[in-house]
Amino acid sequence: MPVRVRFAPSPTGPLHMGGVRTALFNYLFAKHTGGTFLLRIEDTDQNRFVPGAEDYIMESLRWCGIEPFESPAAGGPYGPYRQSERKELGIYASEIKKLLDGGMAYYAFDTAEDLEQMRKKLEQEKSSNQQYNALTRMEMKNSLSLSREETYSLLEKQTPYVIRLKTPEENTPIRFHDLIRGDVEVFSHQIDDKVLIKSDGMPTYHFAHIVDDYLMKISHIIRGEEWLPSAPAHVLIWKALGWEMPALVHLPLLLRPDGNGKLSKRDGDRLGFPVFPLEWKDPFSGEVSTGYREKGYYPEAFVNMLAFLGWNPGTEQEIFSMEELAAHFSFDHVHKAGAKFDPEKAVWFNAKYLHSREPEALLPAIHKGLAEQNISRPFSDEYLLKSIALLRDRVHFEHEMTQKGIYLFQSPVKYDEAIISKRWKTEYRVFFEVWSEQCKTISTADAQHWESAFKNQCQGLRIKPGEVLQLFRVLISGESSGVDLFPMAALLGGQEISARIEKALSHPLMKEV
Ligand code: GLU
C-alpha cells in the first residue's frame, strides 16, 4: 500500500508549533518513503471556527517549506479537502446510515439537563465509571433504552438528537499497535459512546476523520499524543465500519522548558518566546502574538529545531536541511517521552544558519537594518561586506547586525558610563589627543598595522595598552565590548576614528573627570 499521510488541523486558531511539528513529521515520513502528504481542513466544529485560521495554517506551512501535494488549494483526486464541503456531499450521512442500520450506532435524545443530571448522579454515587457508555446508557433517553415506536415518534417530531457509537456491552479488550508506543490494550468499559453526529447534523472529529482517512486512502495516522486516549474508540469505529485501520503513530507532547506540563501560548507570552510560526492577530480580541518569522528566525532553522523535538538522527549531527531530514527520518528515532522545548536552543539553531550564510546573502538584511535606523549615508558593498565579516558570527539574528553593530555605520551618541567612570583618568586625554592626530595619518586598512601603531604610541607615552584599550573602544563605538577592535579601526579608517575621538573628548563624561 503506498504511503499516504495527512495533516488535518482544525481552523480554530493559529497553528501552534506542536501542530507544525505534526505536519513536519508527516511530511518527512512521506518524503522519506516516496509517499504523498496531504492537507485536510477539519472544520466541522462550527462553534470553534475562527476566521482567518485556515489561511494562517496554509501560510505557515508554506513558510516552513512544507508543501502539501493535495490540499483545499491544490485539489487532488480525493477531494474536497475541507470537511464542511464533504459534509455537503453527503459523505458522512451515507456512512453513518450503515452504522445505524447495522446497530453499531444509535440515536440519543438527551437534553443538556439530562446529561448534567447523569453527571451529578454518577458523581454523587462516586461511580468509577463517569461516562456515557455501555454501563450507563440504558438509563438515558436513547434508541437503545426506548421502544422503536418511541424513537420514531421522537424523530418524527424533530426532537434534537445526536448519534452515538455503541460500545460493546461486554467489557472486551481493545488492542492496537502504535509505531512509537508499541502494543496498547484498553477495555471497552473505559470508553464512552462517542458522539459521531452532533445535533447540528455535523459529524464530530471522531467520526469524520475516520471516514475521510478511509476514503483518502491514508496509510498512517500521524498525530499528537493528545489523541492517544481516543484511539481505542477509533478502533471500534473502524471495526464497525468494516474497514482496515491505517497504522497509528502518536507523537510525543511538547513540554515547557522546565519539563512541567504541556507547552502553551501562555508559556511563550510569559517567558518571551514565540510558540506560533507566524504572527497571529486574534480576530476577536485583536490581541497580537509574535511568530518565529517576525522574530527573525529563518524557516530552515525553525524546521531544524522542530525536527529535534521528539526525533534525533542517532548521531551527533544537528544541522539538517529539509532534504537531509527527509533522508534520515524514521519513527525508530522518535521517542515516547514528551519533548522539552528549549528556547535557547531555538536561538542557537538560528545562529548556526546565520553563521553559515555567505556575506553577500546578508547584504539585503544590512540595507534593511540601516533603513530602519534611518541611516541614509551610502556605504559601498565592500564596506558592508567587511562589516558583515566582523558582525555575523557575533549575533544570532540578521537584524541584530545593524542593531548591535550600529557603531560601524554611525558615530556613537552615548558612551558606556560605567566603563568611563571606572577607567578614565585625566592624563589619558593627552594620550588620546596624540593618538587622534596620529590616526589621521594612517591610511591602511591593515588591522595589524593599526594594532602596532596603537601599541607603539602606548610605549612612547609610557602607558600600558591594557589601560587604554577598552577606553579606545568606548570612545569610537560607545560600547565596552563588540567586534574585534583593530579590524574595526581598520574598517572605519583614520579620518573617521580621529573625528570620533575628538567628538568623544568633548563629551561631558570625558571632560568632568
Ligand atoms: N483535527 C484534529 C486536530 O486538530 C486532527 C487530529 C488528527 O490528526 O487525527 O488536532
User: Using one digit for the tens of pLDDT, what is the confidence trace for 88-132?
Assistant: 999 999 999 999 999 999 999 999 999 999 999 999 998 888 899
169-188 residue pLDDT tens? 999 999 999 999 999 999 99
In the residue annotation, 265 being an active-site residue is answered as: yes
Residue with the smallest CA separation from ligand 1 atom 5 is 8
Candidate from 43, 205, 222, 253 with most ligand 1 atoms within 8 A of CB, to mutate: 205
Closest atom, ligand 1, to C-alpha of 8: 5
Please state the length of the chain.
513
Q: How far out from the chain centre does Cα 209 lie?
A: 24
Residue with the smallest CA separation from ligand 1 atom 9 is 223
| CB-ligand 1 contact for 205 (6 Å cutoff) | yes
What pLDDT, on a 0 to 100 scale, did the predictor assign at position 510? Answer: 84
377-419 residue pLDDT tens? 999 999 999 999 999 999 999 999 999 999 999 999 999 999 9
Closest atom, ligand 1, to C-alpha of 205: 1
Helix, coil or strand: residue 191: coil
| CB-ligand 1 contact for 10 (6 Å cutoff) | yes
Q: How far is CA 216 from CA 20, 120, 142, in A?
A: 21, 41, 32
| CB-ligand 1 contact for 209 (6 Å cutoff) | yes
For residue 510, list its beta bridge partners.
Answer: none
287-303 residue pLDDT tens? 999 999 999 999 999 99
Mean pLDDT of the chain: 96
Centroid of ligand 1 to alpha carbon of 409 (angstroms) = 50
What is the pLDDT averaged over residues 341-356?
Answer: 98
Centroid of ligand 1 to alpha carbon of 9 (angstroms) = 5
**Cell 438527551 appears where?**
110
d(C-alpha 168, C-alpha 165), whole Å: 10
Centroid of ligand 1 to alpha carbon of 197 (angstroms) = 17
For residue 224, list its beta bridge partners.
Answer: 251
The DSSP element (H or E) to which 353 belongs, if any, is helix 343-355
The DSSP code sequence of 254-286 is: EEPTTSSSB--HHHHHHHT---BSS-EE-TTT-
Centroid of ligand 1 to alpha carbon of 223 (angstroms) = 7
Closest atom, ligand 1, to C-alpha of 213: 9
Q: Is residue 511's pLDDT more than 80?
A: no
Residue with the smallest CA separation from ligand 1 atom 8 is 223
Closest atom, ligand 1, to C-alpha of 19: 10
Neighbours of 481 (CB within 10 A): 13
Centroid of ligand 1 to alpha carbon of 211 (angstroms) = 13
Q: Is residue 459's pLDDT more than 60?
A: yes
pTM passes above 0.75: yes
Intra-chain end-to-end CA distance of the chain, in Å: 82
Q: Which of 265, 295, 345, 503 is catalytic?
A: 265
What pLDDT, on a 0 to 100 scale, did the predictor assign at position 75? Answer: 98
Q: Is residue 14's pLDDT more than 60?
A: yes
Centroid of ligand 1 to alpha carbon of 249 (angstroms) = 13
| CB-ligand 1 contact for 227 (6 Å cutoff) | yes
How sure is the predictor about 512, in pLDDT bands with cuts at 50, 70 and 90? low
